[in-house]
Amino acid sequence: MPVNLPVPDPASLHPVAGVRLGIASAGIKKPGRRDITLIELAAGSKVAGVFTQNRFCAAPVTVCKQHLQNGDIRALAINTGNANAGSGEEGIRRAMQTCAAVAEMFAIKPEQVLPFSTGVILEPLPIDKILPALPDAKADLAPDHWSEAAHAIMTTDVVAKAASALAKIGGKTVTVTGIAKGSGMIHPNMATMLGYVATDAAVSQAVLNQLVKEVAEISFNCVTVDGDTSTNDSFILIATGQSGNAEIDDAASADCAALKAALSGVSIKLAQAMARDGEGATKFMTVQVEKGRDRAECKQVAYAIARSPLVKTAFFASDPNLGRILAAIGYAGVADLDVDNIQVYLGNVLVAEKGGRAASYTEAQGAAVMKEAEITIRVVLNRGRAEATVWTCDFSYDYVKINAEYRT
């Protein structure tokens, strides 16, 4: 079961002025499954995105990048059950067919539509199922269908992922609401999953382009489940401009800082939800690396720990075999790391210092912390002022079962 991850209350998700969402069933993988989502955006909305750096990127990722260069995006189309990845030129053609069909329904151009797919790789996109379902999704459009959309984009997720926040910007109340999916094949090389965060704030395109990268870096780029970067990762930031605030065109302004805080807060909740709902997860783990020379080396060490199968299986077993953490720090790739200066904590318990086991540490202390559902690993490098935090989960028997049976 997901670790301390409640089902989001639909009433807690604030509608975003200028955004409507509609859901439908195409039966792509399972009959009756609601697996199609349409998101309609008001005219004048700004959209920015970051995508997977996997070289085998999916056809919809390629199309999205092209369409975002044109600007003036008015609709998003999302399907689950099929990734449309490893599909060659035919995959591009089918993604464009989806865009064309959505464009016809909304009387817009195909390049004003962004397509997204998630599911099984190396199988043709069943366009014959998707196209007939699109009118039903359009008929279902409503501003308060965030919860329904969060459920419709799930694959192996157990719990839908959605979050919302309000902020005061320029004397106006600004809304931020987002949804995401992700439970396995989660490791950042951009942002790891499908994520959509919308705000009614007015933001210039240049600032939004900067914000999407900065927000991804401190949220979706800080989560790993299994070390596998998906072919379809996409994080989209939408600003409809309908809150009435003066347009934010200065990335260094107080208004931009307030908006970034709200966007980051929602995105961090969504990112953490992925680790809490990691396939087969029983533990939610926070890895904090402090006092590094720069953020990059702190993340390098944090990810070495967070993606280690040996560390993750030890946490599943509640076994304080903590030498595995030291090994991960050592092979993280920081060439001039002085291990004699490093301190390692499990929760508030000092485990290692001066190159070895802390004199005060007892295995009973470690075992007590390991039994908790939420655990923090803290590594103090003592070589600078930088820090980084990564979220992950353990590896259980169910992780193997879920992925072994993924297509059955």
| Active site (catalytic) residues | 192
Burial 190-214 (b: 16+ CB within 10 A, else e): bbbbbbbbbbbbbbbeebbbbbbbe
Long-range contacts of 310-313 (CB under 8 A, 24+ apart): 312/392, 312/393, 312/394, 312/395, 313/394, 313/395
* Vertex 64 angle, CA 140 and 252, to 5°: 100
Calpha distance 35→17 (Å, rounded): 24
3-state secondary structure of 388: strand
Q: Which residues contact 366 (CB under 8 A, 6 or more apart)?
A: 320, 322, 346, 349, 351
How far out from the chain centre does Cα 23 lie?
21
Burial 342-379 (b: 16+ CB within 10 A, else e): bbbbbbebbbbbeeebbeebeeebbeebbeeeebbbbb
Q: Output phi, psi for 204, to 5 deg.
A: -70, 155
Calpha distance 58→234 (Å, rounded): 10
Sheet of 75-82: strand order equals 19-25, 34-41, 75-82, 113-120
Calpha distance 34→153 (Å, rounded): 8
Measure CA of the first residue to CA of the last residue in the chain; give whole Å: 21
